[in-house]
Structure 1
Amino acid sequence: MYRRIRELREDRDLDQKQVAQMLGMSQTGYSKYETGENDIPTQILLKLADFYDTTVDYLLGRSQKPKP
């Protein structure tokens, strides 16, 4: 899951600060999600799925298809 959110961000040429701002949090806090240091809360997963136009299942690694 952590690798996927990093890859999605990098594929869109975004930095951690930009994604963190969209989520209303600090870059440091968001960085801990990408490294797996902190678990990602459900609400954040939902926001990321909407932001990247993908599914939570894809973010969690339960699906290999980024689109439903």
Structure 2
Amino acid sequence: MYTYQRLKDLREDKDLSQTDIAKILDTTQKQYSRWETGEYEIPFHNVIKLAKFYNVTIDFIANITNLPSTLPKK
């Protein structure tokens, strides 16, 4: 799986539109669509915003791991 596929899966799991996510990222639906289809690479600062929004790790979005979050250290 590629990062852009993970972006789409996360969005669809929350029943959100591309327009909804574009508003969160302060961009257009067209630009977000380009990131979600892999036409363009999503800027890192937007990956950080999405990780916070979805409550997942950056590694999960980047498909480095399949674990959406890490366990808090005790």
| Aligned residue number for residue 26 of structure 1 | 28
Identity of aligned residues (%): 41
Find the aligned partners of 1:11 and 1:3 in 2 and give their Cα distance: 12
Q: CA deviation at 1:31?
A: 0.3
Please, which of 34, 37, 40 is the counterpart of residue 39 of structure 2? 37
| Aligned residue number for residue 60 of structure 1 | 62
Q: CA deviation at 1:67?
A: 1.1
Which has the larger share of helix? Answer: 1
- Note the residue ranges of structure 1 that are not aligned, 5 or more in a row: none
Output one character per residue of 1:10-62: Cα deviation in whole Å (capped at 9) or x when no partner. Answer: 00000000000011000000000000001111101100101100011000110
Q: Which of structure 1's runs of 4+ aligned residues deviate more than 2 A?
A: none
Tell me the matched-pair count. Answer: 68
Greater Rg by CA: 2
| Aligned residue number for residue 9 of structure 2 | 7
Find the aligned partners of 2:24 and 2:46 in 1 and give their Cα distance: 10
RMSD over aligned Cα atoms = 0.5
- TM normalised by structure 2 equals 0.89
Alignment-mate amino acid for residue 40 of structure 1: I
- Note the residue ranges of structure 2 that are not aligned, 5 or more in a row: none
